[in-house]
Structure 1
Amino acid sequence: MTFYNVFLFISQHRYVRKYGLFLDFMDIAIFDHLMLNYDRHSFVILRNKRNRTKTGLVLFDNGKGFGDPFNDDLTFLTPIKQCCQFRNSTYQRVVQLTNIKTRLSELMRASLLQVPLHVLTGDFYSALDRRLEQVVKEMDICIEKFGAEKVFSEEW
């Protein structure tokens, strides 16, 4: 399997440059890795012509997520590995969600208790925590390699 340069592809997209959506795509890579979402083929850019900072992405094709709780496809982390730029706030939140008191799986489990259907099984909760650890590992590698001042950004 050949991987193209994700950084060049994303950073040179005209709307990404114009509206500063690069870091949003890094967040999407994390989200898709957690869900094992192989079906990310569409999103909508909501543009605010008067205020660029109010522009954002809407994701609406997550229907094939959580396909296999025992498969961790690390190719979803390619944007994080190649670009090594992400929000400090994203990093802080991801690290927080690995804490035993605020673990992502427990927050999801509590949230889904309100849903009458059993959407996820225990294996999926374990997969979320395991994949989140993989995200933190890749982000830490970036920080170690390039330094926090070059990796962290709140706008791009």
Structure 2
Amino acid sequence: IYDLCKKVKQKHPYNEGRRLLDVMDMSVFDFLTGNLDRHHYETFNDFGNDTFLLHLDNGRAFGKSIYDCMSCLAPVKQCCMIRLSTLAKLVKLYIGPNSLSQLMKLSLASDPLNPVLVEPHLNAIDRRVSKILHVVQDCIGNKNLWDEVIIDDEIRY
């Protein structure tokens, strides 16, 4: 079986630093928002491989509340990697006391365009949090090695 992730992990800039995990976070973000057309990302060259990803094109985000584009999660699913801090935040949003939809609704309440997101999109966000956690659970179940799937980035809440 051809392992694209294994090949990507050997190439610069993904073979060192934070870049590969940033791509995992970007795929989680795109999945949560339903951004179906991520074509690329930008970085600051001045920072070398210590840069961060810039997500400039989010135009299709929150377009289809009833469709969960699992291909957005392909990097996480294929590489079976996620930051511990990202996973911890997703678990906290899943367990509560506040769900992501509740926090989004509260955050956007004072926006002059309120409601920015309607209920179907808010419901989709919570549904997608659950699906991300299932993908991570499947990765752990398939690999049986927590440390290979959950990468400790030493960020604590």
Q: TM-score, normalised by structure 2?
A: 0.85
Alignment partner, residue 68 of structure 2: 72
Structure 1 residues 26-37: aligned runs within 5 Å: 26-37=24-35
User: Would you say 1:145 and 2:146 are equivalent positions?
Assistant: no
Read off the aligned partner of 2:33 and give its amino acid letter.
M
Structure 1 residues 5-154: aligned runs within 5 Å: 6-8=4-6, 10-47=8-45, 48-49=47-48, 52=49, 54-117=50-113, 118-146=115-143, 147-154=145-152
Structure 1 residues not aligned, in runs of 5+: none
Structure 2 residues not aligned, in runs of 5+: none
Alpha-carbon distance, 1:9 to partner? 6.1
Point out 4+ residue stretches in structure 1 off by more than 4 angstroms.
none
Read off the aligned partner of 1:134 and give its amino acid letter.
K
User: Partners of 1:154 and 1:57 in 2: how far apart?
Assistant: 19
Read off the aligned partner of 1:67 and give its amino acid letter.
G
User: Partners of 1:40 and 1:96 in 2: how far apart?
Assistant: 26
* Identical pairs, percent: 33
Q: TM-score, normalised by structure 1?
A: 0.85
Alpha-carbon distance, 1:151 to partner? 1.1
User: Partners of 1:133 and 1:12 in 2: how far apart?
Assistant: 31
Alpha-carbon distance, 1:90 to partner? 1.0
Post-superposition CA distance 1:1-54 (Å, at most 9, x none): xxx8552464345222354300000011111111111121232112415xx5x4
User: Partners of 2:10 and 2:108 in 1: how far apart?
Assistant: 39
Deviates more, 1:4-13 or 1:101-110: 4-13
Deviates more, 1:106-115 or 1:16-25: 16-25
Secondary structure, counterpart of 1:56 in structure 2: coil
CA RMSD of aligned residues (A): 2.0
